[in-house]
Amino acid sequence: MKANNLLEISDVWKIYKMGDVEVPALSGLNFSVKKGEFVAIMGPSGSGKSTAMNMIGCLDVPTKGQVYLDGKDISQLSESDLAQVRGKKIGFIFQQFNLIPTLSALENITLPMIFQNVSKEERVQKARELLKLVELDQRMDHKPTELSGGQQQRVAIARSLCNDPDILLADEPTGNLDSSTGHNVMDFLKKLHKDEGKTIIMVTHDEHVARHADRMEWLKDGKIIKSTKNNKTR
């Protein structure tokens, strides 16, 4: 692994068996991200985006190849060890928000910190700070059904930051939002990247959304076929 890469995926294959048939979802994927980068992974349905996201997010291990995160090869870790890595190093932002409807905004943000053995006092303090960061400190006691879609996504972004992860992994973060609200959410992600120095990897099929990133990686048939930066092909 190169010293300046935070994440490096090297010749990764993911092959699913369907009876006697082997179906490759990833076919020699090579992909790297430096600390502080904002990268979008683009591709149509069936290109391997979801499988690539699972590798990046420590949700699955490859059939063959290596996945390095912060210098450590995580490609052969057990599920329990992967869960520990996920909890500490990856912050997830989902298209569906995935907020727990019975919990307030504050409680939704504190929940992941419980699994990292953070004290209650620290959890509440951190959640309050994050709600202020996403400009929702006045809505901390509101449940998801009492918030707009854009507000729910900002709560989800705050939750993704609660354990100070190395990488924010955003899966179609504007997919359930109207264009205006989606633009606001993307502006907020860019602010996190620029002002807070956050490393963001975003998976999307929408090129307009992807253009908010510093770099776009184009995925087809389970591998990167093109990389573009600043709207120019490298």
Q: Which CATH number does the domain housing residue 229 bear?
A: 3.40.50.300
In a domain, 222, yes or no: yes
Q: How far apart are CA 158 and CA 218, in angstroms?
A: 28
In a domain, 122, yes or no: yes
Mean pLDDT for the chain?
92
In a domain, 70, yes or no: no
Find how far residue 175's CA is from the centre of its chain. Answer: 14
Residue whose token pair is 């052969």: 76
Residues 6+ apart with CB under 8 A from 28: 11, 12, 13, 65, 222, 223
In a domain, 114, yes or no: yes
The model's pTM: 0.90
Q: Average pLDDT of 180-201? A: 91
In a domain, 187, yes or no: yes
Position 51 scores a pLDDT of: 94
Q: How far apart are CA 168 and CA 33, in angstroms?
A: 12
In a domain, 157, yes or no: yes
* DSSP codes, 10-32: EEEEEEEEETTEEEEEEEEEEEE
In a domain, 130, yes or no: yes
Instruction: Give how many domains the chain has, as a whole number.
Output: 1
User: Residue 19: phi, psi to the nearest 5?
Assistant: 70, -125
User: Bridge partners of 27?
Assistant: 13
Q: How far apart are CA 112 and CA 3, in angstroms?
A: 30
Taking only the tens place, the pLDDT of each residue in 120-151 is 999 999 999 999 999 999 999 999 999 999 99
- 10 Å Cβ neighbour count for 135? 12
Question: Which residue range(s) make up the domain with 123?
Answer: 37-55+78-233
H or E stretch covering 50: helix 49-56
Position 232 scores a pLDDT of: 39
The angle subtended at Cα 76 by Cα 71 and Cα 78, nearest 5°, is: 110
Q: Average pLDDT of 209-216? A: 93
In a domain, 68, yes or no: no
